[in-house]
Chain A
């Protein structure tokens, strides 16, 4: 009859959570407004990049170049003088500063191969790198068109036809929305279970449970299922209402398959939450532990930056983290429309990791529960 204990203790957890208005509001916020703001404000591709142009040429060509920069990729360019360049870049006003020298058009038509100088603030990695190629192709495009009108030039013989698959516009809003949901799944599941354990410990109710005919396994399993259920329901609602309806992000694959993957992930993260709850003695300690565990988990999982670019050693270590696999399967299913035949390795990894974490947490929970009372 252990199942009935797990069921009833889990219902108790749900009731406790229901009566904690602050926590409930945070759950709702994390899966609605937080997703929305993250999606609409996080711009991974080039967007509104600030650019300034020093136009010493003031020729029709240089005017054309100035006019070629416009939103949404660039902010309308600001025309400045040469001496202002350094100060503005120092203050971080411009990411790009383009200097068109005097007599540029004349030298170009004379075939002198003049040079345009492009300054880039390389402390802004994202914009600097992507923006560089945009600026280059815009400027050289204008130059080529201009030159073609004045002189016969042979056509490029090989065309490169580039197409982006899955997210043809490379729309970062699609990416941001789903990744925020994924990050919040991990965060909430760890916090809710860990906090449920510590709350029990701080209110002295652990002691109470221990004198009843329930085993530590039942206590732990009840917290795992109840908190996982809360996060799973919140995830489903968030994907449907916020991501699909509000933000109008197309989801390619099967949401059902993704939710099943989420369930496996939650099995692992809620166990992790219990584990952390046994280490921390109080809420503040739990909070600091959370910061130390959660931030690396999220940053290094491949949800923010591509895994390929991380040092090998970190890539290997992160294979031990459930989120890494979860991010992989989420991206495969939701962005690329992959099915179980493509993502089964991640499902398997999550099952193994979840089992290991649950076992580890349970053994630690058994050892420490007596000293909690």
Chain B
């Protein structure tokens, strides 16, 4: 990384020009009228505290975020212009912040790179060649089959780099690529970047970093603060300008006065080692196994009270697991740990009062304000309530949170959030703090302030501090440090002794040496520093083979999304099984459960007559399959009571003198009370009673009054068509198929898109040449396949298990199902446009599909009988039309010709839904 002379730089073209650019998220201003010209062909570093707009700047330059104000010109064109964005996005590669944020964790290393290669329209031969070269160069070849989620942090970043470099970009944008990565992996990463640049010298690289040591090696630097550029220039120039010797202090010197004044160098008074004999933490042969994987292997250390103990090591080496065992979050497989001389017992709540714990990621409640967070924790730690308000103010003062007490944590910069986490961990005045990488991603000033607090706590209050970190300058501030690798502690000593033992100039060098020695011992090639023997990176000579990246519709990109979605679905056995078996299970339950025939109704009689005739009337009812007679009624009050409790659905009253009056030919009245609380059932009972009454009457009339009386004047012949036995299953099962397909499919597709929004991989839609239609269709195809499979299973189930007669053509139904499944999945995609969280998508899809599908689509009553909004929804809802087809084919033996109107409706609905979905999907973040 040789710094080029300034004169050479200024004569070069610029890769990006920003004029007067402002960006705000709600009320938060990320960029404030920023002007910047970034030279091409060099390595440019963006330095600045967290939350000053580095990531925002990158998302504008990469085209991931829409421009709000100002002009952004990248690679010679306006980024507001959609055509220009389309044209240049194949030349830009963007690796967002966060370890593997744009990767797919269930996909293997190879599949991830392959996905991106396809997005850039590369053919098979080219893909294979490029992927193998890239994996070779990054040392990931051996891990090609490992799921991305199981890689260590360093390896994830290398994989991210492979994905970014697959299409030979002219501009490579790396947002904090080495944050949270151990020193060895970091070195390997930069070695890799340097080699890529040496082979492709025209490439511009834009890097944001929190490590000032790294920034010192870049060609050109931009220091940003509060959405504005502080200064630009080579590292040398910046050092000269500020007359400082390190970039870290240079940066601090560049800050505006009021901010700089807050910075004080960390002062560490020597430790008063009188309490050496008492240990706060003792770990003895602590071991943790997950299945066959040993995460922590016989770790032992003793930490005296009041010591600041640093815990270092690469990502995934077992640091976090060790800390979790110490806090009692995980029970050790073997070995023992003691806190304050007492063995750790997860059920012992009293020990928790003495420990404060701060997790790796910010894990406080984002929905609560700073004050509410502090208040909640104070109460949970049982601080006396009259002291709480005072304690909160005290903590706010100590951790400089007074100004933001009533803000939500999500709106705060990372440094403040970390201070809040620490304040929360300290609220109950614990004697020990366990801090898991508390300063990752925090800017130098905030870090120093944070450390000063820690030092004060340790030295003044005697708090024992157990802290893990990746920063070497922080490690040097610890009293003692442990270096961990692959579950084992390599060495534990004071920073001075470690440097001396290795004869290294810096602690970082000492560590890299320790790690390398260990890695060589294991002889795994992924950590082989001597990478010069590896094959070279794919060179620019091949860039002309990348074709078809800017056309409007490309099947290869579409297929890339389909393929990835399928793989993800197949790797998620629960989602897959539920999606497959779910419909069948629901069909079974509902098919047997929904039954419109009412039988076994309970009735009782209030018989004031007690004659042969009245008993005969009763027998007429109780003899039918519809009614079951209950113990006799004796009073009207009893009718009231027994009907109220729901015991009786029907009460019959036969008046005194019934038999006598009937014999005399006088008119008599029989009273019947129906439970009307369930109107359908009420109607049915009414029908039954009327039918049986007239039946009885006909028979009786002949007996009593002689055959001379009424024969019916006319006959009404009823033909129940399509379902002659009037079976519920025949009516319900064909109607269940549309309902179940709609529900499950729209839910799955809506979630598939919203998941990407939540996990962050949606950024691949923003910055790669894939179009919105390709993205949606690509994600939709696997679900259409799944839907058709579900459909076939449901039909088989209906015909063979429920024995519903199938009278029409299967192909007609299958064709309709295909259209319908297309509609259902499109509807899911449409819903996904409105929802940002998975839970909202889930809830929304359930409400928006289930209610209309059950109530308005003609499942029970035909749409033509509905009124108002329900009628209108029913007319346009796809389920209505598929229901017509399903019933028509199942029960009515109809073919395409007769069902054409319903087919046409589906034909129209499917593309309309998809097009609306495409229009509502945003190609840039807004």
Interface residues of A (CB under 8 A from B): 1, 4-5, 8-9, 11-12, 15-16, 18-20, 22-23, 26, 29-30, 34, 37-38, 40-50, 75, 87, 89-93, 95, 104, 108, 111, 113-130, 132-133, 135-137, 139-140, 143-144, 147, 153-172, 174-175, 187, 191, 195, 198-199, 203-205, 207-208, 210-215, 281-292, 295-296, 299-300, 304-306, 308-311, 314, 328, 331-332, 335-338, 342-343, 370, 373
Q: How far is the CA of A90 from the CA of B382 in the complex (A)?
A: 72
In the complex, given contacts A40-B867, A126-B680, A287-B845, what are 7 additional A-B residue pairs having Cβ atoms less than 8 angstroms apart?
A: A15-B372, A124-B858, A132-B687, A160-B690, A168-B676, A304-B594, A314-B589
A285 B731 Cβ-Cβ under 8 A: no
Beta-carbon nearest neighbor of A302 in chain B: B678
Interface residues on chain B, size class: 35 or more
| Contact of A41 (CB < 8 Å), options: B670, B673, B868, B899 | B868
Q: How far is the CA of A127 from the CA of B726 in the complex (A)?
A: 12
A292 B888 Cβ-Cβ under 8 A: no
A-B contact list, 20 entries, CB within 8 Å: A15-B368, A20-B367, A40-B869, A43-B861, A43-B866, A45-B682, A75-B864, A90-B888, A91-B899, A92-B884, A118-B717, A123-B891, A125-B732, A128-B731, A140-B712, A167-B682, A205-B364, A292-B582, A295-B590, A370-B330
| Contact of B865 (CB < 8 Å), options: A49, A132, A133 | A49
Q: How far is the CA of A295 from the CA of B744 in the complex (A)?
A: 12
Chain B residues in 8 Å Cβ range of A370:
329-331, 346
- B833 CB to closest chain A CB (Å) equals 13
B673 A208 Cβ-Cβ under 8 A: no
The 4 A-B pairs at the shortest CB distance, nearest first, are namely: A41-B870, A164-B676, A335-B677, A167-B676
B678 A306 Cβ-Cβ under 8 A: yes
Q: How far is the CA of A144 from the CA of B713 in the complex (A)?
A: 8
B670 A164 Cβ-Cβ under 8 A: no
How many contacts A-B (CB < 8 Å)? 451
Given contacts A130-B684, A140-B716, A308-B598, contact A296 B590 (CB under 8 A): yes
Q: How far is the CA of A326 from the CA of B220 in the complex (A)?
A: 70
Which chain B residues (832-876) contact chain A, with CB distance < 8 Å? 835-840, 842-847, 850-851, 855-856, 858, 860-862, 864-871
Given contacts A163-B673, A291-B744, A336-B643, contact A171 B679 (CB under 8 A): yes
Q: How far is the CA of A41 from the CA of B851 in the complex (A)?
A: 11
Chain B window 643-670, contacts with chain A (Cβ cutoff 8 Å), 1 for yes, 0 for no: 1111001000000000000100111111
B730 sits at the interface (CB 8 A): yes
B894 A159 Cβ-Cβ under 8 A: no
| Contact of B887 (CB < 8 Å), options: A9, A92, A157 | A92
Q: How far is the CA of A29 from the CA of B580 in the complex (A)?
A: 31
Q: How far is the CA of A171 from the CA of B679 in the complex (A)?
A: 6
Chain A residues in 8 Å Cβ range of B329:
207, 210-211, 370, 373
A286 B683 Cβ-Cβ under 8 A: no
B751 A159 Cβ-Cβ under 8 A: no
Given contacts A41-B856, A113-B712, contact A157 B665 (CB under 8 A): yes
- A39 CB to closest chain B CB (Å) equals 10
Given contacts A120-B720, A373-B324, contact A90 B743 (CB under 8 A): no
Given contacts A41-B871, A213-B381, A370-B330, contact A164 B682 (CB under 8 A): yes
Q: How far is the CA of A309 from the CA of B888 in the complex (A)?
A: 26
Chain A residues in 8 Å Cβ range of B331:
370
B618 sits at the interface (CB 8 A): no
Chain A residues in 8 Å Cβ range of B864:
48, 50, 75, 93
- A355 CB to closest chain B CB (Å) equals 24
A208 B359 Cβ-Cβ under 8 A: yes
B594 A170 Cβ-Cβ under 8 A: no
B596 A91 Cβ-Cβ under 8 A: no
A292 B671 Cβ-Cβ under 8 A: no
B364 A208 Cβ-Cβ under 8 A: yes
A310 B595 Cβ-Cβ under 8 A: yes
Given contacts A4-B379, A208-B359, contact A342 B743 (CB under 8 A): no
Beta-carbon nearest neighbor of B585 in chain A: A292
- B595 CB to closest chain A CB (Å) equals 4
| Contact of B594 (CB < 8 Å), options: A198, A215, A305 | A305
B575 A207 Cβ-Cβ under 8 A: no
- B716 CB to closest chain A CB (Å) equals 5
B575 A284 Cβ-Cβ under 8 A: yes
A8 B667 Cβ-Cβ under 8 A: no
B714 A8 Cβ-Cβ under 8 A: no
B837 A118 Cβ-Cβ under 8 A: no
